[in-house]
């Protein structure tokens, strides 16, 4: 099986690295470069997500993009956290002086629904939040807890400071890819004339940092730049570009936010989705192309294919309308039709191998016999998405993802048999 060992001999290692950098057009991604790895909430396989440590580790592991989710405090400071509340990723429940902040909160928007008893970030000032410590996400028991209580919640500004610092420290460019969480909620709490306080806050911060003005779009990482071994050995590819701080994309699940952002900035907009059937048709992609350069579907849509996925998960759609829009695309055609329109694909989220492959494939209703599209293991899963020509992947355990990407690349270039 493993007749050619990549790591057992340094000569093979260097042969592999230099060949890797020589030719950058063998991957089936839009630009022919390797799939870009996005550190999902930083590196949360080992560190509390969205912590200083998790961002540092993401950079050390040479992810191409480093993701923060963005929400707002009571005093209007943008901070990085996945949830609008605190109990899932912090020690808030153990801080007596904040006990009275716990409340039931209901918010119903077009794209945001919250109904939960918890401590809400928008009820705390930024200064108060500094007393709260991050812990491993409690929804994922496989994650180690040994860095619990070491870090505080960061502002979006200190996240950007951190990215600029690691850019210098590791001498390579990282993309920033903030996701605006629940824009309807924050725009209802903070009023502004155009009703787009949240989006405008983010853009103002990016503009001040030089990310914004007329940026022609985010360049691809240079071939080989993202390789972990390359980073560790400090080997630069021939076509290496020096760190420029300016690689960026902005994500949201709210299509109106995406559309608004697209009128305000040339930074590529990432349209996130798991439940809009009409988007997975040729006409749907024409529509997405009007505001988004990166389409980010829940990964099961690309495993099962859109139609089977929506049927299995009982998401309703209008058959006549879908037919009129050109019909559902297969997973493979979804990629090629996106690429035809200049759209890159960025499915989410690829967990580490302690956590299984995908929701649909770990559900008790489904198994690999009834659903042959389910990957056998993490390698199978990543290789399937690499072979489709997936442009970005949101990954946890970046080290594992790097090893799989290196092995796939090795197979492509050197006729290896990993």
Ligand X SMILES: *[C@@H]1O[C@H](CO)[C@@H](O)[C@H](O)[C@H]1NC(C)=O
Site for ligand X, rule CB under 6 A: 106, 115, 158, 161-162, 165, 171, 236, 240, 242, 318, 320-321, 324, 367, 369-370
- Residue 108 or 415: the one with the smaller Cβ distance to ligand X is 108
Strand-pairing partners, residue 297, are 273
Rounded least distance, CB 142 to ligand X, Å? 23
Instruction: Say how far residue 83 (Cα) sits from the centre of its chain.
Output: 15
- Residue 1 or 106: the one with the smaller Cβ distance to ligand X is 106
Instruction: Say how far residue 64 (Cα) sits from the centre of its chain.
Output: 11
- Residue 170 or 190: the one with the smaller Cβ distance to ligand X is 170
Rounded least distance, CB 112 to ligand X, Å? 13
Q: In this structure, what token pair is assigned to residue 64? A: 């191409």
> Distance (Å, rounded) from C-alpha 372 to C-alpha 352?
21
Rounded least distance, CB 134 to ligand X, Å? 15
Rounded least distance, CB 161 to ligand X, Å? 4
- Residue 236 or 266: the one with the smaller Cβ distance to ligand X is 236
- Residue 216 or 364: the one with the smaller Cβ distance to ligand X is 364
Rounded least distance, CB 90 to ligand X, Å? 19
Rounded least distance, CB 146 to ligand X, Å? 22
Rounded least distance, CB 171 to ligand X, Å? 4
What does DSSP say about strands 69-72 and 78-80: parallel, antiparallel, or unpaired?
Answer: antiparallel
- Residue 80 or 262: the one with the smaller Cβ distance to ligand X is 80
Rounded least distance, CB 283 to ligand X, Å? 11
Rounded least distance, CB 106 to ligand X, Å? 5
- Residue 236 or 341: the one with the smaller Cβ distance to ligand X is 236
- Residue 276 or 411: the one with the smaller Cβ distance to ligand X is 276
Rounded least distance, CB 80 to ligand X, Å? 12
Longest dimension (CA), the chain: 65
- Residue 194 or 234: the one with the smaller Cβ distance to ligand X is 234
Rounded least distance, CB 173 to ligand X, Å? 11
- Residue 178 or 347: the one with the smaller Cβ distance to ligand X is 178
- Residue 145 or 244: the one with the smaller Cβ distance to ligand X is 244
Strand-pairing partners, residue 36, are 392
Backbone angles phi, psi at 120, to 5 degrees: -95, 135
SS3 labels along the chain: CCCCCCCCCHHHHHHHHHHHHHCCCCCCCCCCCCCEEEECCCCCCCCCCCCHHHHHHHHHCCCCEECCEEEECCCCCEEECCCCECCCCECHHHCHHHHHHCEEEEEECCCCEEEEEECEHHHCCHHHHCCCEECCCCCCCCCCCCCCCCCECCEHHHHHHHHHHHHHHHCCCCEECCEECCHHHHHHHCCCCCCCHHHHHHHHHHHHCCCCCCCCCCCCCCCCCCCHHHHHHCCCCCCCCCCCCCCECEEECCHHHHHHHHHHCCCCEEEEECCCHHHHCHHHHHHHHCCCCEEEEECHHHHHCHHHHHHHCCCCCCHHHHHHCCCCCCHHHHHHHHHHCCCEECCECECCHHHCCCHHHHCCCCCCCCCCCCCCCHHHHHHHHHHHCCCEEEECCHHHHHHHHHHHHHHHHHCCCC
- Strands in 175-176's sheet, in edge-to-edge order, are 175-176, 65-66, 36-39, 392-395
């Amino acid at each position: 099986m493993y007749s050619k060992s990549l790591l057992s001999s340094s000569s093979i290692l260097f042969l592999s690295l230099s060949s890797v950098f020589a030719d950058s057009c063998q991957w089936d991604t839009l630009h022919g470069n390797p799939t870009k790895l996005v550190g999902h909430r930083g590196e949360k396989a080992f560190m509390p997500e969205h912590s200083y440590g998790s961002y540092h580790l993401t950079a050390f592991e040479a992810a191409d993009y480093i993701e923060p989710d963005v929400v707002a405090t009571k005093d209007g400071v943008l901070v990085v956290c996945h949830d609008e509340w605190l109990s899932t990723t912090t020690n808030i429940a153990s801080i007596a002086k904040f006990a009275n902040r716990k409340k039931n909160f209901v918010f119903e928007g077009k794209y945001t629904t919250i109904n939960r008893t918890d401590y809400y970030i928008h009820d705390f000032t930024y200064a108060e939040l500094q007393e709260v410590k991050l812990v491993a996400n409690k929804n994922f028991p496989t994650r180690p807890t040994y860095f619990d209580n070491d870090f505080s919640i960061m502002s979006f500004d200190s996240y950007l400071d951190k990215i600029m610092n690691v850019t210098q420290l590791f001498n390579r460019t990282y993309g920033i890819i903030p996701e605006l969480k629940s824009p309807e909620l924050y725009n209802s709490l903070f009023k502004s004339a155009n009703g787009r306080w949240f989006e405008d806050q983010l853009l103002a911060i990016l503009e001040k940092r030089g990310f914004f003005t007329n940026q022609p779009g985010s360049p691809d990482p240079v071939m080989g730049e993202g390789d972990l071994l390359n980073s560790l050995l400090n080997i630069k590819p021939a076509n290496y570009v020096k760190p420029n701080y300016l690689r960026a994309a902005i994500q949201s699940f709210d299509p109106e936010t995406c559309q608004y952002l697209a009128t305000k900035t040339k930074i590529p907009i990432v349209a996130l989705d798991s439940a809009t059937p009409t988007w997975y048709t040729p006409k749907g992609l024409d529509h997405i192309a009007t505001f988004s350069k990166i389409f980010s579907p829940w990964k099961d849509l690309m495993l099962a294919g859109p139609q089977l996925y929506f049927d299995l998960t009982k998401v309703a759609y209008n058959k006549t309308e879908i037919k009129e829009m050109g019909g559902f695309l297969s997973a493979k055609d979804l990629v090629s039709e996106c690429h035809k329109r200049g759209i890159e694909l960025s499915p989410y989220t690829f967990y580490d191998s302690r956590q299984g492959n995908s929701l649909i494939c770990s559900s008790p209703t489904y198994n690999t016999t009834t659903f042959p599209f389910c990957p056998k293991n993490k390698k199978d899963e990543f290789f399937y998405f690499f072979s489709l020509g997936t442009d970005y992947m949101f990954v946890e355990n970046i080290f594992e993802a790097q090893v799989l990407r290196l092995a796939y690349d090795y197979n492509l270039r050197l006729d290896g048999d990993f």
